[in-house]
A and B are shown apart, each in its own frame.
Chain A
Amino acid sequence: MIRDEFDDVEEEGGGPNIDPKVLLLYGAWRSKVWIACTATVGALLGLAAGASMPNVYTSNARLDYRPGKAESINAAAAAGIESGDLRHSLPGMVNEELILDDIRVFEKIARDIGPDKVLATPDPTQYDDEAGVLSSMWHRCQKVMIELVQPGFDGDPTSERAVRSAALSLKSRTKLEAVRGASIFKVAYDGFSKQEAHDTANKIIEAYVTRHKEHYSVVDAYTANTERTQLAREKYNLINEEFRSHTGLCGFVDIQAQKEATIEKISLYETELTRFRGEQKSWAAKIKKTSLQLETIDPYVDEVKPAVMEQNPRYTSMYEELLELERQLTLASNQGSMAQQREKKRTLERQIENVQRNLDDLDETIEAEAAQILKKPNELYYSTIARIDEGEAEMAGISASIAQTEEALRAAQEELSQIGICEDSHTGFDTEITTAKKEWEELRAVTQEQSRMVDLGDEGLANLSILSPPTLPIGKGGPARIKPLAAGIGAGIFLGLLLAVLRQLMDKNVRYPETVEKSIGVRVLGVVPEASSLRRIRPGHVNVA
């Protein structure tokens, strides 16, 4: 009943206003027993985890590294010094570490040993012949726990997956380290038995040296690369030949330059055509204008001459006389005798001839007069005609130029169209040629470098040799069981703290002054501590009436 009534109040005063000190500090102290319990459980689990880790025996070996001439003079190989990493005292040690730290090294060892043996469950009871009863019992317990965590390999030992797993297991147990300030690599292998650690470490050392030699054996690589370079060159030449054949057919050697030139030509022709057409139009306008002028100044001499003749009375009388004589001549054949007629005709003909001659003379005179009258207009007329003729000649020349330019433009456009058709195949050829050339040049550079190293002989190669062979472990070198123990305790404390915080968050009671101020929002005027003397007092003791 009461709780239902106060539900809304609880929401108002509840949770969000929580003091971090109340949550963590007070909470941790309040739940200290819980934290202690979870930490204890964590510690026990950490101990159990530690117990399930098999004993480790470490075999140590050392490798001596000597850089070759090629590496000494190769700036890239000297990264160890250039980068300021003083851990590596010799050029190439960083590279060497990368070369050796290769999973293929461990795959080879895994195949050699057998993945089933590498991944087998470690047996802590193997040295129990010399151990006491308690140790033997502990080792048997340990064996059970290890079998729970590492049940061993149960599959096809020849499979790639098994080899890979075994290689990873070997790699995780191998530590390769460059010794500070020396040209030495320290190799440590953690095995599950003394002999296994020693034997496997030996194999690892040998595998490292083999890997080193394989890496620096440039003769084979040089031979292989030479062949590859030759093949790359042949490929490059073949593509070039194909391209030349193609250009022989299409005629475009440098298609881009030719395309640009053709486009430029088309542009030029178009400009010329525009200019010619402009000139043609201009000349047509000029001719038209001149023709109109000609129409206004045409003198028509034949018309002027009769007018001049009509104004000359002598010409009229002579012309009438001529007409009369011709009429008489026509009539003469009808009058008199034949001889008379002939005589009259001859006379009339002579007269006509004389009149005609006089008339011609007069005509010439009249024409001369007419010409004298029309001298000035004639000059203008003829000059205009000359101008028209000149314009028409220009027009003819321009028309010929236009026809010629149009022909050239059509040819150029045809060429551009052909270029467009051929362009894609040329681009493809270009790409192929560039790629092939690049591949060839890269291979050639590598081959040249390798050739240089081959010429240097053994002096050019870095050397890795065994400085001290793997040791047979005397005692166990691990594991660090303190780590799971510390992790267990840490996790337990964290879990306990989490529970403590949750407990504080879920606390419904007023417990601290901070709670009153944060959750209820009321100032605390005073805090009265718990007093045992007051706790004994009960109001029920009061003598009430």
Chain B
Amino acid sequence: MSQDFAGAISPLQQAIEAVQPLAEELWASLAGVKGRGSSTRILFTSAESGAGTSVITAACGMGLARNLRQEVTVVEAHLARPALATYLGLPGVPGLSDMLVGRAQLEESRYQVPGCPSLFGLPAGSARPAVAGEFADDRAAELFEAVGNTGRYVLFDAPPIVDHPEVLSLLPLVDAVILVLRARASTKAHANKAVKLIEEGGGSLMGSVLNRFKPDGPF
């Protein structure tokens, strides 16, 4: 069961909403992903930190929830730098890190996003560095399986795949992977490395999102 969060719509959420119309093509593509069973799991990762993966994931979640009117859960898997709670106006703890150590249950860590009834958020929880192999053990696998069934669409907000090898453990659990790149900041070398890691890890790379794109001139 999800926990209602009766907070006001944050300025960050307003900003995410501002992004939504511009990412129209993106959630249209996501809606077409064929999932396993009753849910579709999509993982968002980046080549470098600061690419805006969390914002893009949250915006996509909001877009899917509003446009398709189906239950969507955004899961924050970046344990070292939690940001989703701030973006969606949710409480930071308990969250995924607390669930992984058994301090919290799924029901108490999953929050409904204010102003968007079908959108739920599962924040990273207590901030801490990821432990190597943390997502790879059976307990974590069961946990992610349970989390993956919490909505019609489950979107994972993962840390940069190049710097965080634990993301590779999540690749077999998801149906599609989206690489978030930040224009003028992400290098071609890192982007290529990320693509290579995703492909070698068995992930199905659906495409990329170019964030913070600033067009050169009127073109």
Interchain nearest-CB distance for B13 vs A (Å): 11
| In the complex, chain B residues whose CB is within 8 Å of the CB of A544 | 82, 92, 126-127
| In the complex, chain A residues whose CB is within 8 Å of the CB of B178 | 525
Which residue on chain A has the smallest CB distance to residue B205? A522
Is B68 part of the binding interface, using a Cβ–Cβ cutoff of 8 Å?
no
Q: Are B93 and A530 in contact, CB atoms less than 8 angstroms apart? A: no
Is A12 part of the binding interface, using a Cβ–Cβ cutoff of 8 Å?
yes
Interface stretch among B145-153, B166-174, B211-219? B211-219
* Partner of B195 from A512, A515, A522 at Cβ < 8 Å: A522
Is B67 part of the binding interface, using a Cβ–Cβ cutoff of 8 Å?
no
Q: Are B85 and A542 in contact, CB atoms less than 8 angstroms apart? A: yes
* Partner of B184 from A511, A519, A520, A527 at Cβ < 8 Å: A511
Interface stretch among B114-122, B134-142, B185-193? B185-193
Give the distance in Å from the alpha carbon of A10 to the alpha carbon of B189 in the complex. 5
* Partner of B219 from A26, A32, A529, A541 at Cβ < 8 Å: A26
| In the complex, chain A residues whose CB is within 8 Å of the CB of B214 | 529-530
Is B65 part of the binding interface, using a Cβ–Cβ cutoff of 8 Å?
no
Is A516 part of the binding interface, using a Cβ–Cβ cutoff of 8 Å?
yes
Is A300 part of the binding interface, using a Cβ–Cβ cutoff of 8 Å?
no
| In the complex, chain A residues whose CB is within 8 Å of the CB of B18 | 531, 533-534
Which residue on chain B has the smallest CB distance to residue A27? B216
| In the complex, chain A residues whose CB is within 8 Å of the CB of B25 | 525-526
Counting chain B CB atoms within 10 Å of each CB, the highest count among A525, A527, A534 belongs to A525
Q: Are A29 and B22 in contact, CB atoms less than 8 angstroms apart? A: no
* Partner of A13 from B24, B184, B188 at Cβ < 8 Å: B188
Given A6-B193, A513-B213, A528-B19 in contact, is the A542-B188 Cβ separation under 8 Å?
no
Is B56 part of the binding interface, using a Cβ–Cβ cutoff of 8 Å?
yes
| In the complex, chain B residues whose CB is within 8 Å of the CB of A543 | 86, 92
Counting chain A CB atoms within 10 Å of each CB, the highest count among B85, B178, B184, B192 belongs to B192
Is B96 part of the binding interface, using a Cβ–Cβ cutoff of 8 Å?
no
Give the distance in Å from the alpha carbon of A522 to the alpha carbon of B210 in the complex. 11
Question: Which residues of A from 488 to 545 have beta carbons under 8 Å from B?
Answer: 508-513, 515-516, 519-531, 533-535, 537, 539, 541-545
Give the distance in Å from the alpha carbon of A515 to the alpha carbon of B181 in the complex. 11
Which residue on chain A has the smallest CB distance to residue B14? A533
Interchain nearest-CB distance for B210 vs A (Å): 5
Is A152 part of the binding interface, using a Cβ–Cβ cutoff of 8 Å?
no
Is B66 part of the binding interface, using a Cβ–Cβ cutoff of 8 Å?
no
Is B156 part of the binding interface, using a Cβ–Cβ cutoff of 8 Å?
no
Give the distance in Å from the alpha carbon of A515 to the alpha carbon of B26 in the complex. 18
Is A25 part of the binding interface, using a Cβ–Cβ cutoff of 8 Å?
yes
Interface string of A384-418 (1 = CB under 8 A from B): 00000000000000000000000000000000000
Which residue on chain A has the smallest CB distance to residue B185? A509
Which residue on chain A has the smallest CB distance to residue B78? A539
Question: Which residues of B from 1 to 35 have beta carbons under 8 Å from A?
Answer: 11-12, 14-16, 18-19, 22-26, 29
Is B209 part of the binding interface, using a Cβ–Cβ cutoff of 8 Å?
yes
Interchain nearest-CB distance for B95 vs A (Å): 9
A residues touching B (Cβ–Cβ < 8 Å)?
Answer: 3, 5-7, 9-10, 12-14, 21, 25-26, 29-30, 32, 508-513, 515-516, 519-531, 533-535, 537, 539, 541-545
Q: Enumerate 25 A-B pairs (CB-CB under 8 Å) in ascending A order.
A: A9-B189, A26-B219, A30-B216, A508-B188, A509-B184, A510-B185, A510-B210, A512-B183, A516-B210, A519-B188, A520-B191, A525-B178, A527-B22, A528-B213, A529-B22, A531-B18, A531-B19, A533-B18, A537-B12, A537-B15, A537-B86, A539-B81, A542-B85, A543-B86, A545-B125
B residues touching A (Cβ–Cβ < 8 Å)?
Answer: 11-12, 14-16, 18-19, 22-26, 29, 52, 54-56, 59, 81-83, 85-87, 92-93, 125-127, 178-179, 181-193, 195-196, 205-217, 219
Q: 13 additional contacts, CB 8 Å, given A528-B19, A545-B92?
A: A5-B193, A10-B189, A13-B189, A512-B210, A512-B213, A522-B195, A525-B25, A525-B209, A533-B14, A534-B55, A537-B86, A542-B92, A544-B92
